[in-house]
Chains A and B, each alone.
Chain A
Amino acid sequence: METWLARIISFAEQYPEIAKDATTVMRWVFVVLAAYILLVSIFSLLTTRCTPEIWGYFLVEDGGNFPITHWENVIGRSRSSDIHIPLKTMSNSHAILSRKSEDKWVIKDLGSKNGTVVNGFPLEPGRRYMISLGDEIVMGGVHATVAPASLEESRNNEVMRRLDKEPVAPWKILVAITLFQFLTIIQLILGLGDKITLSAIISILLLSAVMWTYVTVFKAIGRKGFEMEMIAFFMSTINLAVTTSFDPGATLKEFIALLMGLALMIFMCIYLRDLERTRKLKPVLIGLSVVLLILNLLLGTASFGATNWIEIGNYTFQPSEIVKLAFICVGAGTLEELYNKRNTIVYAGFSLFCLACLALMSDFGTALIFFATYLVVSFLRSGDFSRLIFTGAGAGAMGVMILKFKPYIASRFQAWGHVWEPEFVDSMGYQQTRTMSFGAGGGLLGLGAGNGSLKYVGASNTDLVFGFVMEEWGFIIAALLVLCLITLTIFAVMSIIAGRSTFYTICACGAATMFLVQTMLNVFGAVDLFPLTGVTFPFVSTGGTSLLTSWAMLAYFKASDMRRNASLAVGKEEQRA
């Protein structure tokens, strides 16, 4: 293999015109392949909506029957109740009805005015009561009962679900990504010449192999939806190309981190299937996060102004990245938990702790990501818009304080919007102007992987990676990468309709917010739409911990994918017939 590589390099050196022509053609091929891979995946993800599963019926005397399409349901007078009973005697949110298993349900009165009575026994508000199918429930004079979905109804629902549009088959996309990866290797050899290393090439080949193995194995056990993984594998390919162009010696390490992330994602997907099990993990996650952050504060090493790294031997990692995963899980909750004050306080306290630690580390970019995620998750939990604004304003005031005490950050704000002015162009605006200049130099098609020059600017493969991709891969591919993350968000929001538990949907929306805010800070910071904060672009920025976390985060999206047999984070549908 080494001689084969040497032969290509010497050929390219001997015939530079041919090498140049190859790049000229490949630039087009890359854009076409990328557009195909991503647009097909995005289209499939956004058009294959699913019919909600029916878990049972809520039968109301003289009032018809309501199909229960979620594991967790609010019963009440409010129009936004899942089981909407418009009677004056009902409270707005009267009670919560949750499914525990095929024939076990839990009911909890939410402190309603007229109370809830089950089989003649008045329920204490705020306590959970196990009920069985057929038990009589009286709420504000309404007599009701939970009934199983009849065999016929189940079959009809099953037929409906079978008629849902199937996710796109992964094979064509796989071939396209593989072709993309092979051409990337060739382009990197042409671009980097003898600077390329064998380990970098092998890493990209291994990525291809891992991708095929993943899809083949899970396809074999009956899984169908792979769009999100395809998007992630594609973005990871760009990551490895960027990493190689920047430093071919680092590619293998990056690939290993990716592998760990993929393993963690599979593990999390399987773990997330069981809601009770996941809920119980929360205190453990809080504990681990606290330990990690405190270790970071004690042992952390500084890089670009922020002390957010821990060094162990030859390995460094960013604890705050790992804590992101826990942060989302802790913020999520079942419908019952959302009505539980203590749960909300624990989440707020944990958030405050994380933010304080990040502030002490001077990692304000990550702090901003955590804070935005906290705001969105809190809003999803409480729906309290005024509190959202209030908290946001409070944080804004804190931000102004930070600017006063941290002149380094204040100076970044000064340069914001003025980076081209002579005063900043070679100082505080250095990175942004270079990002835009080299990025514009890439045009729509890019200069070809390995041919860029932004890599000689500090943090180009992390904070400025948007410009790095623009220069080497072109504006079209860079914009498509952003589109990928927007797609994941739209999917997360859409999935709520068929969602089983608020836990999963909050997880998905929280993860989406985290991705979005991170992308925003990364892209906007690099091109002077926002002060440069120095955060990574999910999946694309070089950095083991960042890539690992991005992959693991994907589990939260997978867990909200309710399409029939689509996601490995959802137990395979039992044959109920």
Chain B
Amino acid sequence: MRKQEKRALICLLIAAVLCIGVVVFGVRFVRDGGRWASFYGNTQIYTDGIINRGIVMDRNDELLIQCAREGVTYSEDSTIRKATIHAVGDPAGNIASGAISIYKSQLIGYDILNGTYDTDQSGKKIQLTIDANANVAAYNALAGRTGAVGVFNWKTGEIVCMVSTPSFDPYGYLPDDEDSSYYFNNFLDGALTPGSTFKLVTSAAVIDTLSDRGKFKFDCDGTNEFSGVDFTDIKTHGEVDFRDALAQSCNGAFGALTRKVGAAKMKEYVRKAGLVDPVEFDGIRTAGGKFKFPSDDDVTLSWAGIGQADDLVNPCALMIYMGAIANGGEAVQPTLIKSATFIKEITGGKSLGRYLDEDTANELRNMMKYNVQSNYGEENFPGLDIYAKSGTAETGSWNPDAWFVGFTDGANDPYAFVVWVKDGGYGSEVAAPIARTVLETLEADE
């Protein structure tokens, strides 16, 4: 009998395997339960493959989408629907970064204790940080053109406006092709030629590396031939210093500055400015940027330094960089989910780290103010303490892309913004008014 006593331990071994298996499953249950529960096969929360509970609102409690067993209801206003669809998402999940796709498990009210059990089965309310009115203003201002507008509070990180066009009305015709450009969010997923807005990155490198930048002079003859290639400007700027080179957006001058800074420093600064790596926040991952600074080809290096050549930037990343300049060099992570803001207002949003030295940021800030004063005209932005840079990106299309990026400062409106209009034309003419309209709407909504 004593032999059997020992041999019987094999039964305990089997029991241990069962026990370990259940523990392994338990760990997965805790880790992946939310994802499992929000799987489309769960008919508790999906009716005909469409999520059937939860509400998404904007920052002012404007209803953006309501999911119920009877079906999905969007805002009653068709412009709101079109202006917010990329932030809200479509039930079919074609907009990958839409709130109802990314925050599914929050929408269905999943938590580990209750699972999908909900006392009234209406699901949870998610409040986005976006302002529907600002989105509508941006959408209208884009006026049917392809483009993107993003605005965020550079102190708290809250994205208050996010519009991408072309857009569509979820109650209207839905493209069948899931890769359709209608479903694409240019702001989060775009990688675009930055044009002259990139001079803000080159400028940061210049400030940090060229201590004699105060003596920098460039004589712009409008053609600015270098190595047999013309770095043409819209007009002849004559003799410009560093500050005016940025304000006039002189390609010749910035080509020369880029060559002075050198390829290695440019590589370092584009990474420091957060424009290379994708940005992750609230379950969203933006597209990364792409830049090439050849050390053996001064012509391409010059083009790259003025935001042309192979440069591709993600609008959201560029917006964060604007926020970093505004915030004394420290970048704040954007967010789309509204939470207890009083804490964020005191402590600020989550930091992404220091992009620029404080002095560098302040010098850039002054230069961006000077841009507005000397070029864009402060009178065009009444009541706004605005700092900006325009861009006109040559893409090989019939018309250049228009850009306008920058930020405002003030207790109530610490906003960093980015506006991009595909084939729009001149940045300061086309994109700047859009920025103004959106910022004014935000001001009025406060």
Contacts and interface: CB of A to CB of B under 8 A. Distances in A.
Interface of A: 17, 20-21, 24, 27, 70, 72-74, 80-82, 335, 372, 376, 379-380, 383, 425-426, 430, 433-434, 436-448, 453, 456, 471, 474-475, 479, 482, 485-486, 489-490, 492-493, 496-497, 499, 502, 505-506, 509, 512-513, 516-517, 519-520, 523-524, 527, 529
Contact of B34 (A440, A453, A523): A440
A513 B14 contact: yes
Nearest to B17: A520
A80 B9 CA distance: 15
Q: Which of A17, A80, A383, A425 has the most CB of B within 10 A?
A: A80
Contact of A516 (B14, B42, B45): B14
Contacts of B26: 475, 479
Contacts of B33: 440, 443
A516 B18 contact: yes
B103 interface: no
Contacts of B1: 70, 72-74, 82, 335, 496, 499, 502, 505
A493 B37 contact: no
B229 interface: no
B171 interface: no
A490 B12 contact: yes
Contacts, number: 164
B120 A490 contact: no
A437 B36 contact: yes
B45 A441 contact: yes
A419 to B, nearest CB: 11
Interface in B14-53: 14-15, 17-19, 21-22, 24-26, 28-29, 32-34, 36-37, 39, 41-45
Given A437-B42, A453-B42, A20 B119 contact: yes
Q: Which of B10, B15, B111 has the most CB of A within 10 A?
A: B15
B112 interface: yes
B37 A441 contact: yes
A493 B115 contact: no
A441 B44 contact: yes
A17 B118 CA distance: 12
Contacts of A74: 1-3
Given A437-B41, A502-B1, A379 B7 contact: yes
Given A444-B113, A445-B114, A516-B14, A436 B36 contact: yes
Given A439-B36, A440-B32, A502-B4, A453 B18 contact: no
Contacts of B36: 433, 436-437, 439-441
Contacts of A447: 44, 115-117
Nearest to A384: B7
Q: Interface size class for chain B?
A: 35 or more
A502 B112 CA distance: 46
26 contacts: A20-B120, A372-B14, A376-B10, A376-B11, A380-B4, A383-B7, A430-B41, A436-B39, A440-B32, A440-B37, A440-B110, A441-B37, A442-B117, A444-B112, A456-B43, A475-B29, A492-B11, A493-B9, A496-B1, A497-B5, A505-B1, A506-B4, A512-B11, A513-B11, A513-B14, A520-B17
Contacts of A517: 14
B7 A380 contact: yes
B8 interface: yes
B6 interface: yes
Nearest to A529: B21
B32 A509 contact: no
Given A376-B14, A492-B11, A486 B19 contact: yes
A433 B6 contact: no
Nearest to A382: B7
B22 A523 contact: yes
Contacts of A21: 119
B28 to A, nearest CB: 8
Contact of B4 (A479, A490, A496): A496
Contacts of B112: 443-444
A489 B37 contact: no
Nearest to B9: A493
A27 B117 contact: yes
Contact of B25 (A445, A471, A509, A527): A527
B44 A453 contact: yes
B18 A433 contact: no
Contacts of A380: 4, 7-8, 10
Given A437-B39, A440-B115, A441-B45, 12 more contacts: A74-B2, A372-B14, A425-B41, A433-B39, A437-B37, A439-B29, A443-B115, A446-B117, A486-B18, A492-B8, A493-B8, A509-B11
Contacts of A502: 1, 4
Contact of B12 (A436, A439, A446, A489): A489
Interface in B107-139: 110-117, 119-120
A23 to B, nearest CB: 8
Q: Which of B17, B39, B120 has the most CB of A within 10 A?
A: B39
Nearest to A430: B41
Nearest to A69: B1
Contacts of B116: 441-443, 447
Contacts of B15: 486, 489-490, 512, 516
A443 B17 contact: no
A321 B148 CA distance: 66
A443 B19 CA distance: 20
B154 to A, nearest CB: 39
A356 B380 CA distance: 89
Contacts of B2: 74, 80-82
Contacts of A493: 8-9, 11-12
Nearest to A78: B3
B26 to A, nearest CB: 7
Nearest to A388: B10
Contacts of B117: 24, 27, 441-443, 445-448
Contacts of A438: 42, 44
Report, nearest first, the 4 A-B pairs whose CB atoms are least far apart.
A443-B115, A440-B36, A440-B33, A441-B116
B115 A441 contact: yes
Nearest to B42: A437
